Structure 1
Amino acid sequence: MTRDTDQELRRGWTTGACATAATKAALMRLWGGVFPAEVGIVLPKGETPVFPLALAEAGDGWVRVGITKDAGDDPDVTHGALIVVTVSTSDGGVVFRAGPGVGTVTKAGLPIGVGEPAINPVPRQMMTDVVAAVAKDYAVTPDVVIEISVPGGEALAQKTWNPRLGIVGGLSILGTTGVVRPFSCAAWIASIHRGVDVARADGLTHVAGCTGATSERVVQGLYDLPDHAMLDMGDFAGGMLKYLAKHPVPWVTIGGGIGKITKLAQGAVDLHSARSQVDFAALAKMAGRPEVAQANTALEAYTMAGPPLADAVARQALNAISARFGGMRFDIVVIDRAGVVIARAGA
């Protein structure tokens, strides 16, 4: 029987969903006087998860509730983090604040303005809707301060793209659906898009996408690019290039090892080993070396054919992306495992 991985993997809930549930439970205590044992919410697509309370505290004019984030089977950096919401009465309307472990936006280009807590628009709307609904239940005015904190969030944020995007002091409260789908590419691609937005808002004219840490280090040093010019492309060249085609930056560098760049040269834009493969027969023709067709990896092909093959791969990759994603200047940097540049095209 074929193993259906998608059905077996357990989904989880976003930080935004956890914050919304914590907000609801805290308001029930603030306005109704009693903590619920657990709290259910309705997500944007109609799912109705129920969350147990991991923390429940109250004082004079405030209530604090914590929900432990369960990311399901996704390797989410915030899995197991405590998402804490403290509610109190505001001077009017719903006011969001960043507590310890939640970041603040410092660069333009994100969907939240500079100086605002890094709480994304959909979670804000979910919490605002919960405030309105619970206020109606208790016949009170929906004037609330919602402060979100994540113990240890500042350290966790160093494992995310937040520092590069100009979000300082902690994590973002995220989620467009409230659901974490295991091993989804959506979150990574969304971060690439936000990186483009920040670069454009800052007026950068040159950005770079690289396939890994070594190529990123080399390319950044080669061009002396600031951190926020470095887009976390990884295997998602298509996710980056398609967005750049609609939101262009004048100059785009792509860097990577010979294997990934060969896939790009052969027309692939998803460079993951499970979703694209090197065509060694085509590579042999490119190199003019028939024995390359017997290679097991692009690196082995390079050892057979030498620098002329790397040069040909770089040129063909440049031609492929320039033809498909025109309107910008592109260049290609091919790097070996030691971090040495073995070919360039378009520079």
Structure 2
Amino acid sequence: MVLSESDEKISNDLSIAESEQDLPSEVREKKLRGQLKTGYTTGTSAAAASKSALITFLTGKSVEKVQVTLPKGKVVQLKVAWTRMNEKSITSAVIKDAGDDPDVTHGAEICSTVESTSNKGEVKIIGGAGVGKVTKPGLGLLLGDAAINPIPMKMITEAIHEVLNLYPEVIKKQGLKVIISVPGGEEIAKKTDNPRLGILGGISILGTTGIVLPYSTASFAAAIRQSLDVGIALKADTFILTTGGRSEDFCKGLFGDTYVDHCYVQMGDFAGYSVKQCHDKRVKRVFIAGFIGKLTKIAMGVKQTHVRGSHVNMEFMAKLAETVGASEEVLKLILDANTARHVSEIIDAHNIKGFYDLICSNAASQLSNYSKNELSIEVIMFDFKGYVIGRFPKN
């Protein structure tokens, strides 16, 4: 994942309070007390492992901790999990610590192997087992290269040169190869968007600040932007933005082979942000697909559609039902309903026509505000079996 903006700026762009996310109760309490623990990125971990391995390579002595300079200049100290030596190379590992963030790479071994080469003066940093390779454009990395993003690459390089500056004669006599690897990285990557983005065979080495902010919206925003960038680089001008994996699967069943995989982007709760990004990147057309709950929230103008961040307004739903001719009896049932899904059961039981299309119409109108009415937006509502029950505009 290539991040071109700081975490702080992305969070501001989203205009979403992190407190609106669906946090476990114990985490939410920590957050309110300001006690959530930050962590370190895979980039910081790789830099620390590289520094440790090189120190041992040059001195023959392993170290328990190393200091790493983060992109903004702060110096942090990371623990080295282990160092292994053989005749030709040295490998050190740092355990990725994501703090209180539910990162899939938390606990992974981020390893760095240092070995000498005959290319005097050269320091070459490459990806090894468990680090993905780039197979699609749009990521800001060369095709075929390891998925080590520019800032982590810079951090690794600087960590290596901090050591080499203490031993200037070494690099005059030989070159160095530094191999970043992640045992089990290929399996971990299956839990990420890497396969869709064309990063195959492992995880990415990431990080813009070197620090993992617990439950940050920035990482989700970056994933949305990056998915769009990959699709655009592959000449896509239409994207299907879905609220999750289930609605994406239903869309693939609906559209068949019309759209390839990189046209699908899971926007989660960030519909407005995703539409704005599509507009700013000059996408021509988007489909918004989801179920009654989130699409109703979008139709209401809610910026953050997560269950913990907002609630469906039954008065709003009753007004829509009244617009399409629902009886007083139905309106009362809707006002007393528990959830949006409950409302759909009432609508279906009384065979109210046009209700779902009206929600989609209102959702499209709200989302147009994020694109200055310059983007073609179509909204599709599925029922929970995958049938299209609402659509705007109607085909």
TM-score, structure 1 as length reference: 0.94
SS in 2 for 1:97: strand
Aligned residues with identical type, % of pairs = 38
Q: Does 1:302 align with 2:344?
A: yes
Paired residue total:
346
The match for 1:139 is 168
The match for 2:358 is 312
Task: Give the distance between the partners of 1:246 and 1:253, measured in 2 at CA.
Answer: 16
After TM superposition, the structure 1 = structure 2 runs for residues 101-180 of structure 1, keeping only pairs within 5 Å, are: 101-140=130-169, 141=171, 143-180=175-212
Q: Does 1:250 align with 2:296?
A: no
Gaps of 5+ in 2: 1-27
After TM superposition, the structure 1 = structure 2 runs for residues 1-347 of structure 1, keeping only pairs within 5 Å, are: 3-5=29-31, 7-90=34-117, 91=119, 92-140=121-169, 141=171, 143-224=175-256, 225-288=259-322, 289=326, 290-291=331-332, 292-306=334-348, 307-325=353-371, 326-346=373-393
Task: Give the distance between the partners of 1:152 and 1:3, measured in 2 at CA.
Answer: 33
Shift of 1:4: 4.7
- Amino acid across the alignment from 1:82: E
Shift of 1:263: 0.8
Q: For the Cα contact (< 8 Å) 1:15–1:173, is it kept in 2?
A: yes
Task: Give the distance between the partners of 2:122 and 2:283, measured in 1 at CA.
Answer: 39
Shift of 1:278: 1.9
Name which of structure 1's ranges 318-327 and 17-26 shifts more when overlaid on structure 2: 318-327
- Amino acid across the alignment from 1:340: Y
Task: Give the distance between the partners of 1:251 and 1:32, measured in 2 at CA.
Answer: 59
Shift of 1:205: 2.4
Task: Give the distance between the partners of 1:223 and 1:269, measured in 2 at CA.
Answer: 28
Shift of 1:322: 2.3
Write the deviation string for residues 158-187 of structure 1: whole angstroms up to 9, x where unpaired.
110000000011100111111112111211
Shift of 1:14: 1.0
- Amino acid across the alignment from 2:290: G
Task: Give the distance between the partners of 2:276 and 2:82, measured in 1 at CA.
Answer: 43
Structure 1 residues 305, 194: CA separation in 2 closer, same or farther (over 3 Å shift)? Answer: same
Shift of 1:209: 1.2
- Amino acid across the alignment from 2:146: P
Task: Give the distance between the partners of 1:117 and 1:213, measured in 2 at CA.
Answer: 27
Shift of 1:46: 4.1
TM-score, structure 2 as length reference: 0.83
Write the deviation string for residues 274-326 of structure 1: whole angstroms up to 9, x where unpaired.
22222221221122053223322112222223442211101111122124313
Name which of structure 1's ranges 212-221 and 84-93 shifts more when overlaid on structure 2: 84-93
CA RMSD of aligned residues (A): 1.9
Task: Give the distance between the partners of 1:4 and 1:153, measured in 2 at CA.
Answer: 30
Q: For the Cα contact (< 8 Å) 2:382–2:390, is it kept in 1?
A: yes
Shift of 1:247: 0.7
SS in 2 for 1:163: helix
Shift of 1:238: 2.7
SS in 1 for 2:289: strand
- Amino acid across the alignment from 1:309: F
Q: Which has the higher contact order (CA 8 A, sep 6+)?
A: 2
Write the deviation string for residues 245-292 of structure 1: whole angstroms up to 9, x where unpaired.
211222211110101001111112321122222222122112205322
Gaps of 5+ in 1: none
Task: Give the distance between the partners of 1:323 and 1:26, measured in 2 at CA.
Answer: 53
